[in-house]
Amino acid sequence: MRRVIYILSLFVVSCEMPNGNNQSGDMSHWLDIGYNGGDSTNGNRTGITRDDSSEQETGISEAISIGDALKGTYSVIIRTENGGDVIGSGFLIAPDLLVTNFHVVEGFSFGFVRQNDKSPRYNIDEILKVDAVNDVAILRVKSIQDPFVLPLSSYMPKLGDRIYALGCPKGLEGTMSSGIISQFRERDGRGICRDAESAIYYQTDVQINHGSSGGPILNEKGYVIAIALGGFGDGLNFLVPARFIDVLNKGTF
């Protein structure tokens, strides 16, 4: 049974503010997400581009400019089974695989992705895998022309690291904003974790607005360290660590 009922409409996502009456053990009572512990829908591994070298220690990895990373970032526009329209963001991790939040595609009937209102639309072929607990989904989009894949970072961020959010906040496609990693949080969104590797969420002051959900969060080298999730605005926002993409890909969550 879903603990939170949320209404999603085009350019508008309702967020519930925290209060003392809800004692659930995760952040679903804070954000526009209803976690249900769903499983992966497909057991096959997918091919994901990852930087396997130590970015900080060796400096071997080739950096991607933040502007160029927009080439791998898309608006995700969904028609749900009940006839509602949802808009979020997403990014390519392989030429035909796009990551977004589970809550963006929940109730999916059909949909498409595009980079902006002047670019082609590419139909979503299938929802390949979902992790409803950590709010991650991998979509199959076969028809994308000249795909620009964003690599996942192997380097765990540290407090104070500069980060960049790309996506479609409030319907403004191709938007970039920047901020820092503010804290590492536990499942309930309040408890502090010792480091990024043990964190369930990254807290940030980067701008996350309606429509940002599912967009890539990049480090200064242009590598994906997290997925935009949601929050309250005013510098209190939350991200899903990119390691959960690998967890979903391997079917081990």
State yes or no: is 103 an active-site residue. yes
State yes or no: is 135 an active-site residue. yes
Contacts of 182 (CB under 8 A, 6+ apart): 159, 202, 203, 204, 205, 235
Q: Which of 75, 135, 153, 154 is catalytic?
A: 135
Residue 216: both structure tokens together: 């890539």
State yes or no: is 246 an active-site residue. no
Q: Which of 103, 131, 154, 210 is catalytic?
A: 103
The DSSP annotation for the chain comes to --S----EETTEE--PPP-TT---SSGGGTSS-----PPPS--S-----B--S-HHHH--SPP--HHHHGGGEEEEEEEETTS-EEEEEEEEEETTEEEE-HHHHTTEEEEEEESSTTSPPEE--EEEEEETTTTEEEEE-TT-SS--PPPBP-SPP-TT-EEEEEE-GGG-TTEEEEEEEEEEE-TTSSSBPSSGGG-SEEEE-S---TT-TT-EEE-TTS-EEEEEEEEEETTEEEEEETHHHHHHHHT--
Catalytic residues, by residue number, are 103, 135, 213
